[in-house]
Structure 1
Amino acid sequence: MDAAPPAELIVVERDPTGVAVITINRPSSLNSLTRPMMVLLADAIRRLDADPAVGALVITGRGRAFCSGVDLTAAEEVFKGDVKDVDANPVAQMERCRKPIIGAVNGFAVTAGFEIALACDILVAGKDAKFIDTHTRFGIFPSWGLSQKLPRIIGISRAREVSLSGMAITAEMAEKWGLVNHVVDNGEVLKKAKEVALAILRNNRDMVLMYKSVINDGFKLDLGHALALEKERAHSYYNGMTKEQFAAMQKFILSRSSKSSKL
């Protein structure tokens, strides 16, 4: 176990631009998670979501791994706890987070680390990144969503092979299969993730939150119900706007249009 206090194993840095970076900081153990680290990570995500100065989150790991999963020396402490305890579950807090989360995956994202990556809205991976599901290898039952999310992203046949055999998904495969958005040189992962976050923050922040919500909520539904959900929220949004808000929106659109025409 690390001598460092748990608080130093989850590092949060807030940038004046509105981007907050959460770093899993246990490189000597490939950023494997103990229960106190999970609680701190979940709490950091919850606090940043509530912070009005923060518009987007980046999650990364220090060293050769993004996160190598649960520290198996602390497995009993983790798995005999309540797996439904959302306050101590970083993935549950990521799923509740209203703000965009970009994963900067350097090196290994294994099992619980893979599940944290899957809970990100956008993924940037280094060329040497590898995504591995070891649940079947170690006899661990998934509880952070890997068994359900991965088939929906890469297809059920590929997901079966990945999870039942424990094969590694390379960065190249991950990009081809639609698991990651960008593959960059290993030293550029965090930089690229911040660039994506800043591109998001240049837009209307309220709409970013609402748009993320309708995409993620609609993805859980069949297409017919998802389209109805979009219509319902659009109706509520426009009917709730005052004349002044419409005028402000039109003024904003015109200002953006004039800037675009000069590019």
Structure 2
Amino acid sequence: MTDAIVLQRERGLLTLQLNRPDKKNALTRAMYTQMAEALEQADADVDIRAVLIQGSSECFTAGNDIGDFLEQPPSDLDSPPFHFMKSLLNCRKPVIAAVAGAAVGIGTTLLVHCDLVYVSRDARLRMPFVNLGLCPEFGSSLILPRLLGHAKAAELLLLGEGFTGEQAAAWGIATEALGNGEAALAKAREVAERFETLAPGAVQVTKQLMKSVDREQLRRVIEEEGALFVQRLKSPEAIAALSGFITRR
């Protein structure tokens, strides 16, 4: 499973590439752990100036690997998915995301914790938590209503409606929408490499200031969502929906 996340260090840039093309880059416990550890190591490494998270030019991630999820569901807030969330939330270095194709579940919610997000116009983003008998995670129940207003956030979270990369950029979830996946990946890398020449201390202080507003409230919401998410995984609704997903696949 180590090849499911390809880590590439090039000068001051660390790239985390999701690499399970046969599974649409669906995330397993091992992948969450590897990404969390890579973010923590990058945060502590003075030579790393920025982190780039990307999939391929065809797919970012289909979200959680449901089979892996059902085999050993997260049981507490120290489980691998929540470890990854905490590592991304705490990362002091700029985090840039490049998104093409599908970005499902946490593939969408992680974007609001990145500093710069470049998407292909036809990227397909969706947060189908309710559709799977679950609830929102990673602070999305707080951030999205503030960003989009309650009515639009309700459409995305209560109905699980999908949206495009172009819409993501228009709504402020993404920085910019580009023509295709290759263009999104190229733009994200170009921007990420700019941090190699910017004063790292100034960059980190600026990120700290931008993220400091309501930070503790966000932490509390993420913990509350996580606890409820763990409970929902045990509910008859979620068990039926997730099992049905596996059967249909």
TM-score (norm 2): 0.80
Equivalent runs, 1:1-263 vs 2, <5 Å? 6-16=1-11, 18-62=12-56, 64-77=58-71, 79-85=73-79, 89-186=83-180, 187-218=182-213, 220=215
Take 2:196 and 2:186, find their aligned partners in 1: how far apart are those partners?
A: 15
Q: Is the 8 A contact 2:85 2:138 kept in 1?
A: yes
1:27-80 CA distance string (max 9 Å, x none): 111111111111111111111111222100110013522111111112234534
Question: Which deviates the most, 130-139 or 109-118?
Answer: 109-118
Change beyond 3 A, Cα 1:142–1:84: farther
Structure whose CA Rg is larger: 1
How far apart are the structure 2 equivalents of 1:173 and 1:115?
15
How many pairs does the alignment contain?
216
The amino acid of 1:93's aligned partner reads: S
Q: Greater relative contact order (Cα 8 A, min sep 6): structure 1 or 2?
A: 2
Q: Kindly state the Cα deviation for residue 208 of structure 1 after the two structures are TM-superposed.
A: 0.2
Cα displacement (A) at 1:97: 0.4
Alpha-carbon contact 2:74-2:80 (below 8 Å) kept: no
| Structure 2 residue identity aligned to 1:19 | L
Aligned partner letter, 1:92: K
Q: In the alignment, which residue of structure 2 is the partner of 1:249?
A: none
Q: CA deviation at 1:113?
A: 1.1
Tell me how far apart the structure 2 counterparts of residues 158 and 10 of structure 1 sit (CA, whole Å): 33
Give the C-alpha shift of residue 221 in structure 1.
Answer: 8.1
8 Å contact from structure 1 (residues 23, 61) kept in 2: yes
Q: TM-score, normalised by structure 1?
A: 0.76
Tell me, what secondary structure is at the counterpart of 1:31? coil
1:36–1:134 CA distance, 2 compared to 1 (3 A): same
> What is the rounded CA distance, in whole Å, between the counterparts of 1:22 and 1:157 in structure 2?
34
Matched residues in 2 for 1:142 and 1:221: separation? 18
Cα distance, 1:89 vs structure 2: 2.2
The root-mean-square deviation of aligned C-alpha atoms, in Å, is 2.0
Which residue is equivalent to 1:235? none
Take 1:106 and 1:117, find their aligned partners in 2: how far apart are those partners? 13
Structure 2: 5+ residue runs without aligned partners?
218-249
| 1:106 CA displacement | 1.1
Determine the C-alpha separation between the residues in 1 that align with 2:212 and 2:114. Answer: 14
| Percent of aligned positions that are identical | 31
Q: CA contact under 8 A between 1:26 and 1:62: conserved in structure 2?
A: no
Q: Matched residues in 2 for 1:206 and 1:137: separation?
A: 43
Query: Contact 1:91–1:119 at 8 Å: present in 2 too?
Result: no
Shift of the 182–219 alpha-carbon distance from structure 1 to 2, 3 Å rule, reads: farther
Do the aligned partners of 1:10 and 1:41 also contact (CA within 8 Å) in 2?
Answer: yes
The Cα of 1:199 is off from its aligned counterpart by 2.7
- Mapped to 1, the partners of 2:75 and 2:4 lie a distance apart of 21
